[in-house]
């Protein structure tokens, strides 16, 4: 149905296709775009976050710092005979074995013990070894730069942290979001839209002061109810997020707020609340950067429970790593209510004496002395200072500089605040999976008037690709011209329509039901008399007559636009 009706096409089909890639056809692209725009209404208009766009190609430094060069791997086993590669954990689970720990040793043992062989030729399999999942490329020619296609959009927000912090006038919390492509060179993808090599994601990175993970708007959300599956009990329980927080199931307001917001967003694009739950990650399944993580999971007809959103507390991991790797300051300032005066110890090197004794090293020793850890005003002995003098490192050598080469003084300094590395809460949405889930949950069967069974896609009107089907009862007496005018008028008002004049009205209703169009307008002979048309509702099948002039307003208000 998805292919026949123009929702999805297999990519590169005329060349035999390529696993892990899908094309969105005209209806699919419209549905996907409507989901993304609904997300923008929540996160950009609603939360006031800044949307940015960063390139999908990025130099390797970015992914060394983010940990992806080292950690973004899957274990692969290759057939010794035909060379075909398999993702080890998937292969083992497919064969019906349970894998508690995804270690090389555990996987090699199961494959050997159970004598699992190549799925293609039956050959013997080699040992499991990690393979990086990023697509690799090079920027420039000649002395080119190694680069990767990003596996997530998040790094763009971290790299721009300082620009964004200034844009938001140096106040926390603030958020930056990005909707864009991510890439993952899967070993052997086989689940269609659920496991793509090129996919769309919508990610928000919300920067918090680690000492204050309250959310300013949590009061609006505390009565939102969702089904939670805590890691402690593993039992699903429906509860208000305010209660989850007070009972300690949610670690902080920020996490609880984004679980609630995600619940609101997903149900607004048509995910069925009864087939939606939020599951907390177990300690050993968390990504290398995460501190706590809740996944939104949906129940799908053929695939069972599938993750579609991850809401992670990434702590200070990302900004700290980029600070270390780039040497650039990515801290924020926690302002004091009033400026404070603090006493500080400063070391004043005696240059003349230093020069005489240490010659060409004197300059470096001076710098090292000035930066030495000599304690605060309260104690004049820091870890770097002892009775013998100050320990410094110059040109890789440690040495102790005796007291005669410097003076120690106490000075008063005005301090306005202290610097810290912000923590990040990240709600990360898999758009293709949400698309697939919205289709899956909208799918239903109904009977036509003459008893024939057919598909109705009960998509939420806000995301339906076509909002209104427009039919002339017959192509005569100008009914078709009136219908075409209505089509043009609604399009000009930004409402997606589809004109259809072929087949019986029942057949045309069925065609619109099948692609999820919420309303249909029929121009008939009464239209010529009184200027009204029939408006039919997809779900209730009710029909009513409406003046042509009132159609734009009617559909706009139904769409909440």
Q: How far is the CB of 404 from a copy of itself (least distance, A)?
A: 41
Q: How far apart are the first and last CA of the chain?
A: 30
Q: How far is the CB of 14 from a copy of itself (least distance, A)?
A: 4
User: Is the Cα dihedral 343, 345, 350, 355 positive or negative?
Assistant: negative
Q: How far is the CB of 422 from a copy of itself (least distance, A)?
A: 15
Q: How far is the CB of 76 from a copy of itself (least distance, A)?
A: 6
Q: Beta partners for 447? A: 453
Q: How far is the CB of 185 from a copy of itself (least distance, A)?
A: 7
Residue number with CB closer to a copy of itself (141 or 338): 141
Residue number with CB closer to a copy of itself (279 or 322): 322
Q: Which of helix, strand or coil describes residue 247?
A: coil
Residue number with CB closer to a copy of itself (245 or 460): 460
Cβ proximity of 540 and 556 under 8 Å = no
Q: How far is the CB of 156 from a copy of itself (least distance, A)?
A: 7
Q: Which of helix, strand or coil describes residue 365?
A: helix
Burial class (CB in 10 A: 0-12, 13-18, 19+), 491: middle
Residue number with CB closer to a copy of itself (329 or 537): 329
φ, ψ of residue 270 in degrees (nearest 5): 105, 5
Please count the CA atoms within 13 angstroms of the CA of 413 that sit on its side-chain side: 13
Q: Beta partners for 295? A: 279, 310
Q: How far is the CB of 382 from a copy of itself (least distance, A)?
A: 29
Q: Beta partners for 522? A: 471, 534
User: What token pair was written down for 274?
Assistant: 């009864």
User: What token pair was written down for 167?
Assistant: 């844009």
Residue number with CB closer to a copy of itself (286 or 554): 554
Q: What span, in angstroms and rounded, lies between the C-alpha atoms of 476 and 482? A: 10
Residue number with CB closer to a copy of itself (324 or 403): 324
Residue number with CB closer to a copy of itself (131 or 399): 131
> What is the torsion angle, in degrees rounded to the nearest 10, for the CA atoms of residue 273, residue 276, residue 280 and residue 284?
180
Q: How far is the CB of 500 from a copy of itself (least distance, A)?
A: 10
Distances from the Cα of 254 to the Cαs of 177, 206, 427, in angstroms? 16, 9, 10
Residue number with CB closer to a copy of itself (52 or 229): 52
Q: How far is the CB of 225 from a copy of itself (least distance, A)?
A: 23
Q: Look at residues 366, 466, 497, 343 and name the one whose alpha carbon lies nearest to residue 415.
A: 343
Q: What span, in angstroms and rounded, lies between the C-alpha atoms of 7 and 514? A: 11
Residue number with CB closer to a copy of itself (255 or 323): 323
């Amino acid at each position: 149905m998805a292919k026949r009706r123009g929702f999805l096409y297999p990519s590169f089909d005329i060349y035999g296709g390529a696993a892990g890639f899908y094309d969105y056809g005209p209806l699919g692209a419209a549905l996907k775009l409507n989901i993304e725009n609904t997300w923008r209404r929540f996160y950009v208009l609603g939360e006031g976050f800044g949307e940015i766009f960063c390139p999908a190609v990025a130099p390797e430094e970015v992914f060394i710092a983010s940990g992806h060069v080292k950690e973004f791997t899957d274990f692969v086993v290759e057939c010794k005979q035909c060379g075909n590669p398999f993702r080890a954990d998937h292969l083992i689970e497919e064969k019906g074995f349970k894998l508690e720990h995804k270690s090389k040793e555990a996987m090699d043992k199961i494959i050997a013990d159970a004598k699992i062989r190549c799925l293609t030729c039956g050959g013997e399999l080699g040992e499991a070894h990690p393979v990086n999942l990023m697509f690799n490329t090079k920027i420039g020619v000649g002395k080119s730069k190694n680069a990767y296609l990003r596996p997530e959009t998040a790094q763009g927000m971290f790299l721009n942290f300082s620009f964004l912090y200034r844009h938001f006038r140096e106040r926390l919390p603030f958020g930056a979001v990005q909707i864009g492509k991510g890439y993952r060179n899967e070993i052997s993808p086989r689940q269609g839209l659920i496991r793509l090599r090129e996919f769309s994601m919508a990610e928000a990175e919300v920067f918090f002061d680690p000492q204050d993970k309250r959310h300013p708007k949590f009061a609006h959300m505390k009565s939102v109810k969702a089904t939670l599956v805590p890691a402690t009990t593993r039992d699903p329980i429906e509860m208000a997020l305010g209660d989850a927080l007070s009972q300690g199931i949610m670690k902080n307001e920020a996490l609880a707020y984004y679980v609630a917001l995600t619940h609101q967003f997903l149900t607004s694009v048509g995910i069925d609340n009864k087939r939606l739950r939020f599951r907390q990650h177990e300690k050993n399944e968390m990504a290398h950067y995460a501190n706590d993580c809740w996944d939104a999971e949906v129940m799908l007809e053929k695939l069972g429970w599938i993750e579609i959103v991850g809401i992670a507390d990434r702590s200070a991991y990302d900004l700290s790593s980029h600070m270390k790797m780039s040497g650039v300051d990515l801290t924020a300032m926690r302002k004091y209510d009033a400026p404070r005066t603090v006493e500080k110890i400063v070391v004043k090197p005696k240059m003349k004496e230093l020069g005489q004794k240490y010659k060409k090293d004197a300059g470096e020793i001076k710098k090292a002395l000035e930066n030495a850890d000599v304690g605060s005003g309260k104690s004049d002995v820091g870890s770097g200072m002892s009775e013998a003098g100050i320990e410094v490192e110059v040109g890789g050598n440690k040495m102790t500089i005796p007291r005669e080469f410097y003076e120690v003084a106490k000075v008063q300094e005005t301090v306005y605040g202290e610097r810290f590395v912000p923590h990040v809460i990240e709600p990360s949405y898999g758009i293709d999976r949400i698309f697939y889930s919205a289709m899956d949950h909208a799918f239903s069967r109904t009977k036509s008037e003459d008893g024939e069974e057919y598909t109705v896609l009960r998509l939420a009107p806000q995301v339906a690709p076509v909002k209104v089907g427009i039919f002339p009862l017959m192509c005569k007496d100008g009914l078709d011209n009136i219908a075409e005018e209505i089509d043009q008028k609604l399009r000009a008002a930004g409402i997606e329509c589809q004109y259809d004049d072929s087949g019986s009205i029942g057949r045309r209703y069925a065609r619109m039901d099948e692609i999820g169009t919420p309303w249909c307008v029929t121009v008939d002979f009464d239209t010529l008399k009184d200027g009204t048309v029939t408006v039919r509702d997809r779900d209730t099948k009710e029909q009513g007559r409406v003046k042509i002039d009132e159609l734009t307003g009617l559909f706009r208000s139904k769409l909440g636009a």
